[in-house]
Structure 1
């Protein structure tokens, strides 16, 4: 009886303890941690799906779209439970379909197609290829730098991916590249891999018709960049692509995933922070309160450029037309050129054109063939090409001579066809070489108009190389103009220091009087970019203010259109040249167009233009480069132009292109109509 009572007591005690523990736990859950568990209950029950945001649009200065977005289709590889052998066969057949319809696959494996060779690029001639190669091998564990490209491919084929013999060489290389790239980018069930972007319906139809034969190959919809004006401004706009490991490391902590698409070149890269949107999330389920928690993506912002898209197009069309016509006449020697147009009032870049160019929509697909093109269409000649200025430098020499007192505006210097000041070096004026005549006595204005070499030989001798170099620097020659794009190079002003640096022998390093007088006519060791030459002319035209050049005009919000950033004009220097000096030089440039070498091209032109032709010797038994610089209107300048034609024979050939651009700017391409802009100028 006692035992029964004791057992009952024990049971009662156990029950009481359990009840107390339960109450304590309920108190803890509801009171102490109640808020935490409430928040937990509101959380998503399934992992969210990223809703990619479209990139911001790129507009010209008047709001004309240059790059927008459209919906495109991509082929995506998703993780499935199939063998490596089956996966390789699926990829091989997918590659064959892509190849048959003009598409190809992209990867970063630095090995060419068969016969295999390494493709590390030494773009600057500075040994960067070896550094790139060393870094790549350092990142690998099973392959070593003493292995040939063929050995590396064999290792990936057999050891890494189990690819069988029998595939066509091109297909085998592509399958290895896909497997390599997918592995590099963390291909998994949660991280699919994109095989090909922006494929057309021909590809999709072939895949869909035989879907059972392509396990893991899925057609997806993505935003694709739409180049509204085709290849116009390709070198400026740039392009996008998959992030590299180096880029991912540099952007770590900024919310990027390794598979994100980013700006890779040009404006797309330069203004990535504005163009990148904010991704949203999509959920198929709800939280415990029944509330759907989708977050809408926010598109990237509008980037407004200083470019005039219509003027850019006109410049590119004229450049192509005249180069092709000259090429037909010169047997193909004239094959490249560049144009830059600046607003002289603020440094805005209205046009930056390079020929040959490329299609930015297919740049990634065409990259290898573009690299192999001897004309180098990838090279941005407007910003990176450096050219001997020839006679386009003579206005600068005139300014330096007038300001230094080496000559006066009315002083007459005599041209006898041959410059005989030195006994052992007697260069000729172009007019003597071509006609046997002379220019006679000229003042500085007439010397510019007639482009008299003998006048500028004497002016250069009187003032010396240091004065020439001083004024060249004042006008920004041999210096960066400040444009935001990284393509720009400095060029060089001819100087004893430069010759000392590049000379290979003691005699090569010596500076001679002949070097000075050749510098004065735009030869010797001077070479400048088209954008530098345009900015130098803009500085003359606007009265002596050297502006920093700009490609960005403003950034506007994609949500409400508000201005996020607006570029203000930035003065780099006031050159401090007397007004009468600039007027004497500008009158000479007006004479070039009215009476001189460009008069036939601009006969009866309704807008007064100041200009200067240049024919620059380049040696190596190839044709001279042709240059033309100009500004207009003469009395109230708005724009400055530089045109360069590689092996274009004479500056007059370049002047035709400048006239086409003036037509497009002032006359809408017709000499009877005034220029009218449609749309409001965007800030």
Structure 2
């Protein structure tokens, strides 16, 4: 009986459990739907604006439009760097089914070099698929016509016009102007550090050296943008809006490019440098470093063989000797030593020494360049005839500390502040410098005998041509030093407003005018009856100057004869000058590497530069070339 009752109750319990499971499932379903509804409400209502923006961003992409780079001209308006339009062959990867096959097919129609393919691959990695990328640049008219005839075979490929940088004068003033080339990782870091990342989207080039580098953000301009609607596959559908780019600002330089061109030509195939400055403003009139190079080679990526030729040349054409070459100043240092002697009271103009042709110190004989000496020598004669013994004695009397302090005020051993990057400091020797320079204690000690050679511009002395030119300009300008600069004014591309780069006086040296006049008269004497007489014979103006010859290596007491010395070990030739002597308009420093005597190699170059700048007279060889070009 009990067994039968249990059997009857079993279906009831199963039914109850079933109903419980159904109810539990219903609650779960309701809860799930509630969660879905809540999530739906959160997405559609609470975060509606956020996801609408995200969807719009996915639908619309901003394509950067690269601005046109600013133009660079010289002080007379001659174009030194400009832009020109040329045809490029471009591929839009999103519109091409088989990219490799397309590139192979194009190679059968138009010459596509391995370097073109390599550059395209690099651009492809950095770009969006709907952007068109150049596979070949600067197509000829024939190549454009050939592609046009086969255009139907290459969907997603088209010919476009793009702007390219061009330097019309080629190698002329290339170290001053510099060049642009493709942006690398280091450039990207610099752009990011300056908060310019957005402005450089789409840009492929940047200034690498010279004015192109130091005024990069003025020249670059402001990028524009095009709003492009794209589909789910990343393909461009249509253009929605366009914000045009703003062209970069234009630069007008202080450089006189005709003077620059003449200076480069008269150097011929010799290595060297020339810096010409306007003393009253600090404006650079010419900045020469020879040999030079063609900046056009770098614009679209320099070929490996061209780079090897430049980089491995023993003449080092990529070295800016005017700013980075440090050389002993030789006897061009003597006017500054004489001025230091006057200002420190160590000498008077009429105080004379007897020169036997040598100076003995510490058991060592420092020889004069003239055997038998110059006899009785005062300050004027010491500069005019370049008497070494006078300056051996003077250096010993002044001491290294006094010399170093005075020369530092002239800018030696420090950057001049010119508006170009990478300037060298040179070496202004002193006991403190020697302690920093050498590691071993026995090397760090300054010996009194080392001071003697400093007096004639030898020893540890090593200065850049621009430092020599600046110091010369300061003497010409009676102690007022202006910061050397290459840019005269910047023209705003939108408004046309010109922002002048005002002459910036770095310091005013409290020299006695009578002391300055003593040095100037002696430097005039150099060219009228001294070491520079031959170079300036018959000049239609009065120039003040000083010749110099700097040893490249020690002769250890032997006689110097250029014919017995390897060319690369021959003395450097130097010359500093300003003119007209009474109202200087131009001051310069000339260096001819391994050129021998300054009077023979460097002074004639200065004469030809002065003749053109002051009289408009062209050197004979240059004038003949100009006539031939006109014919």
Q: Tell me the TM-score range normalised by the shorter chain.
A: 0.7 to 0.9
Q: How many residues align?
A: 538
Is 1:301 aligned to 2:241, yes or no? no
* Structure 1 residue 61 displacement after superposition: 2.0
1:370 to 286, 297, 310: 310
**What is the DSSP-based 3-state SS (H/G/I as helix, E as strand, rest coil) of the residue aligned with 1:251?**
helix
1:248 to 177, 188, 192: 188
TM-score (norm 1): 0.72
2:416 & 2:590 partners in 1: Cα distance? 17
1:457-606 mapped onto 2 (5 Å cutoff) = 457-503=392-438, 508-563=443-498, 565-606=499-540
1:587 & 1:382 partners in 2: Cα distance? 28
1:527 & 1:315 partners in 2: Cα distance? 24
Counterpart residue number, 1:73:
87
1:283 & 1:179 partners in 2: Cα distance? 24
Is residue 518–residue 524 contact of structure 1 (8 Å, CA) maintained in 2? yes
**What is the DSSP-based 3-state SS (H/G/I as helix, E as strand, rest coil) of the residue aligned with 1:105?**
helix
Counterpart residue number, 1:278:
222
State the Cα deviation string for residues 121-169 of structure 1 (Å, max 9, x = none).
xxxxxxxxxxxxxxxxxxxxxxxxxxxxxxxxxxxxxxxxxxxxxxxxx
* Structure 1 residue 93 displacement after superposition: 6.5
1:58-137 mapped onto 2 (5 Å cutoff) = 58-79=72-93, 80-82=96-98, 84=100, 86=101, 89=104, 97=111, 105=115
State the Cα deviation string for residues 74-125 of structure 1 (Å, max 9, x = none).
34343121165x367458769x9355xxxx837xxxxxxxxxxxxxxxxxxx
Counterpart residue number, 2:261:
313
Counterpart residue number, 1:640:
587
2:363 & 2:150 partners in 1: Cα distance? 82
* Structure 1 residue 260 displacement after superposition: 3.6
Counterpart residue number, 2:123:
182
State the Cα deviation string for residues 652-683 of structure 1 (Å, max 9, x = none).
201111111111211112599xxxxxxxxxxx
1:351 to 265, 274, 286: 286
Is 1:425 aligned to 2:364, yes or no? yes
2:606 & 2:349 partners in 1: Cα distance? 29
1:382 to 294, 297, 322: 322
State the Cα deviation string for residues 315-350 of structure 1 (Å, max 9, x = none).
11222x2xx2xxxxxxxxxx4111100110011111
State the Cα deviation string for residues 498-540 of structure 1 (Å, max 9, x = none).
3344447655444333211100000000100111000000011
Counterpart residue number, 1:624:
571
**What is the DSSP-based 3-state SS (H/G/I as helix, E as strand, rest coil) of the residue aligned with 1:378?**
coil
2:363 & 2:142 partners in 1: Cα distance? 73
State the Cα deviation string for residues 535-554 of structure 1 (Å, max 9, x = none).
00001111001111112211
Unaligned stretches of 5+ in structure 2? 1-47, 230-238, 555-564, 621-631
Counterpart residue number, 1:396:
336
Gap change, CA 1:245 and 1:511, over 3 Å in 2: closer
Counterpart residue number, 1:447:
382
Aligned CA-pair RMSD: 3.4
**What is the DSSP-based 3-state SS (H/G/I as helix, E as strand, rest coil) of the residue aligned with 1:660?**
helix
1:605 & 1:338 partners in 2: Cα distance? 23
**What is the DSSP-based 3-state SS (H/G/I as helix, E as strand, rest coil) of the residue aligned with 1:536?**
helix
1:599 & 1:209 partners in 2: Cα distance? 70
1:657 to 597, 605, 608: 605
Is residue 66–residue 202 contact of structure 2 (8 Å, CA) maintained in 1? no
Counterpart residue number, 2:178:
238
Counterpart residue number, 1:117:
none
2:281 & 2:535 partners in 1: Cα distance? 28
Is residue 610–residue 631 contact of structure 1 (8 Å, CA) maintained in 2? yes
* Structure 1 residue 558 displacement after superposition: 2.2
1:281 & 1:548 partners in 2: Cα distance? 40
**What is the DSSP-based 3-state SS (H/G/I as helix, E as strand, rest coil) of the residue aligned with 2:126?**
coil
1:249 & 1:670 partners in 2: Cα distance? 47
Is 1:360 aligned to 2:285, yes or no? no
Is residue 606–residue 671 contact of structure 1 (8 Å, CA) maintained in 2? no
Gap change, CA 1:599 and 1:78, over 3 Å in 2: same
Gap change, CA 1:48 and 1:629, over 3 Å in 2: same
* Structure 1 residue 577 displacement after superposition: 1.5
* Structure 1 residue 492 displacement after superposition: 0.9
Is residue 64–residue 201 contact of structure 2 (8 Å, CA) maintained in 1? no
Is residue 469–residue 494 contact of structure 1 (8 Å, CA) maintained in 2? yes
TM-score (norm 2): 0.78
1:666 to 566, 591, 614: 614
1:509 & 1:271 partners in 2: Cα distance? 41
1:490 & 1:284 partners in 2: Cα distance? 51
Gap change, CA 1:649 and 1:302, over 3 Å in 2: same
Counterpart residue number, 1:56:
70
Is residue 77–residue 192 contact of structure 1 (8 Å, CA) maintained in 2? yes
Unaligned stretches of 5+ in structure 1? 1-32, 38-42, 107-174, 286-290, 325-334, 673-683
**What is the DSSP-based 3-state SS (H/G/I as helix, E as strand, rest coil) of the residue aligned with 1:68?**
strand
Gap change, CA 1:215 and 1:339, over 3 Å in 2: farther
* Structure 1 residue 455 displacement after superposition: 0.6
Gap change, CA 1:413 and 1:208, over 3 Å in 2: farther
1:665 & 1:198 partners in 2: Cα distance? 39
